[in-house]
Structure 1
Amino acid sequence: MAEELERGHVFFCYRPRVDVGRARGPADVQRFYMIVRPDRRAVFRRIIIGRKRLPDPRAHERTWGLVDLVTGDPERLEDELDPRQYRTKTRGPRTEPPGRPAGEGIYAIVRHVNHTHLAYGLELPASPGPVQRDLDIAREASFVVMVKNPDVGPPTGLGPRGSRKPAYPPRLRAEFSGRRFIELDPPELLDHPGAEIVLVGAALDVGRELGITFDPEHETPESAAFFSELGLERDVHPLAPLLTGDWA
């Protein structure tokens, strides 16, 4: 049986490429994010996921993740997903489209034997569609998760802040003890922007593998945590990916 270290809500969202009015598939995705909020702490951690999709558990794929934003203010997080306009010298004004919610559910970070897992169960959309299939957001899945020692090797460069090292306090820095990677224990390792993780696809049947259950609630568009917890503005962010699983 696994030892549960943390549980909370997980949110998946993507932002289309600049000046893309409507994303029609993965080729139109600029960034893919996973946001985790623990139940017992008022903190949101936004993680950029490499490859712009989750790793496939069936193929035991691996991909990088970068914690790029940590905040206790949901309004700030929501603002970060809003559309932006900026001007370039060569192309003039450009528009960065608003983020699209692509799924929400429950997650758990657990210790299993000698490693840690991040597992989740999806609550919305009720019936996963093309968006979830293309981004490998399964109805439930687990990943072995490791944290990279910021003092060993170059940063992954997943974002403009990819070279920023996490400001771990001495207590957490001591966890590495010269190792290149460590388990995600304690989960507070994710509380520091610049933290880099590796996700390795492990299993699609979380209960069978880890012995834990999520009992996802039957969320509705009215009760979705994207709106009640993050305060997502319905008139700004296209909701089809979250509600019907269709690209937008």
Structure 2
Amino acid sequence: MAKSNHQEGDRSATGEKHKIEHEAPPNPQRVKVEKQQTLEESLNKDKDEKSERTDNTKSKQEDELEAKQESAVMPGEEPDVPPNILEKGIIYFFIRGRVNIENPEAVDDVARTFILLRPIEKDAKLGDGPIGDARNNRLIALPKKKLPVGGNDRFMIFVEKSNASFKDLKKSFLDGADYETKTAGTRHTPAAIPVGEGVYALTTTGRESHLVYMLTIPEKLGSAQEGLGIKEKGSFIISTKNPNYAGPANARLPESPEFPTEVIDEFRSLRWLPSKPIHLDYPNAQLLLVGESSGVEKALEPQEKDETNSAENPEEFVESLAEEDFQRMRHLSGHQSESIYADLQARAEGYPQLKTAF
């Protein structure tokens, strides 16, 4: 966010500190004496626990090896990274229909829009195949449904999941779910619907941070993308809220992000900071997106020190990544929907197809 906005926030009245709820003391109870285990039972229990730990460790190692072998991410192949690139990666846009609405026919039918970020190494190029599961996915929720498109659009968003695996995302995000209510009976939460895929970069101009993206899928935007504010190239100013200040009543979360001490110390008395990659690694982190109608030029403007070294022009750097992703996704699978799900290690069958029209 621009400095003037930060100063204005600092002059405003200090919000209430986050209140910590203390657990009530336990009720006094009669101590229950457990039956003492025999030596044989104790040895068998230890053996079972050791076997379970070994299996879990082996499974995790196999998953990590498989993800590494399948990944199209090739670190160390892009040495000339512009200094204002804080992070880059793959971005996906999803929507979820309101309860019992499987196929939204208008923006009003959308319950929420989501941004899924999969960071990759800054010096990496993209080859053929899926990106692999590095278990570093971040799911960001947009309660406003639409993306901000101009400077007057200032939308609060929040990190719903961080360091998530594809397996976790399939269970807790992509899939729909049924639940029971006392008054309305069975209600259905629809599956998430893809509306776009591409590449992104988190950049800094010194006083502000920007989230810039370039779309790969769909190749031609439809009414769904236009209605949601998704462009072929887009950019936002992005700032992180100090969790020690209470936000608006309609934008408060039940829990605060568990930022480490070094992040909290950076805020000092400021209400906002330019976002950094580490901020996005904590669930419940609240972020402010401000639309930029000028496109990606400001977010990818070369810094002065770029001219004194061999670093690539920031806009050309991101465009090159977008071209690599375009070629990669074209050869992943048949339909554009299948390519997106293949990238997330999910089968397209049973999931909604890419939506381009309302």
Same fold judged by TM-score > 0.5? yes
Equivalent residue letter for 1:192: Y
Output one character per residue of 1:149-206: Cα deviation in whole Å (capped at 9) or x when no partner.
01101366559xx221000111111111121000113x11110000000000124531
Point out where structure 1 has 5 or more consecutive residues left out of the alignment: none
Shift of 1:78: 2.0
2:146 maps to a residue whose letter is R
- Tell me which residue corresponds to 2:273: 182
Distance in 2 between the 1:38 and 1:125 partners? 21
Q: Within 2, Cα distance between the matches of 1:193 and 1:137?
A: 24
> 1:170 pairs with 261, 276, 279, which one?
261
Pairing partner for 2:237 from 141, 144, 150:
144
Uncovered stretches (5+) of structure 2, i.e. residues with no partner:
1-81, 122-133, 302-313
Shift of 1:123: 0.4
1:11 and 1:36 in contact (8 A); partners too: yes
Q: Look up the SS of the partner of 2:266 in the other structure.
A: coil
Kindly report structure 1 stretches of 4+ aligned residues shifted beyond 3 Å.
Answer: 154-159
Is 1:67 aligned with 2:162? no
* Identical aligned residues as a percent: 28
Return the index of the structure with the highest Cα Rg.
2
TM-score (norm 1): 0.89
TM-score (norm 2): 0.63
Distance 2:140 2:244 in 1: 20
Structure 2 counterpart SS, 1:174: helix
Matched residue, 1:195: 285
1:103-122 to 2 correspondences below 5 Å? 103-122=196-215
Q: Provide the residue aligned with 1:94 in structure 2.
A: 187
Q: Residues 166-245 of structure 1: matches in 2 within 5 Å?
A: 166-185=257-276, 187-207=277-297, 210-211=300-301, 212-213=314-315, 214-215=318-319, 216-217=322-323, 218=326, 219-220=329-330, 222=333, 226-241=340-355, 245=356
What letter matches 1:167 in structure 2? E
The Cα shift of 1:18 comes to: 0.7
Q: What letter matches 1:202 in structure 2?
A: E
Instruction: After superposition, give the CA deviation of every residue in 1:225-245 in whole Å (9 maximum; x if it has no partner).
Output: 63233224312221131xxx1
In proportion to residue count, which structure has more helix?
2
- Call closer, same or farther: CA 1:71–1:148 in 2, change over 3 Å: same
Q: What CA deviation, in whole Å up to 9, does each residue of 1:91-126 have, x standing for no partner?
A: 111111100011011110011131110100000000
| Higher strand proportion | 1
Q: In structure 2, what is the Cα distance between the partners aligned to 1:149 and 1:111?
A: 19
Task: Read off the aligned partner of 1:196 and give its amino acid letter.
Answer: Q
Mapped to 2, the partners of 1:42 and 1:105 lie a distance apart of: 19
- Aligned residue identity for 2:278: E
CA distance in 1, matches of 2:223, 2:238: 26
**Range with bigger deviation, 32-41 or 224-233:** 224-233
Letter in 1 for 2:108: A
User: After the TM superposition, which residues 21-32 of structure 1 pair with which residues of structure 2 at under 5 Å, given as runs?
Assistant: 21-32=102-113
* Alignment root-mean-square deviation, CA: 2.2
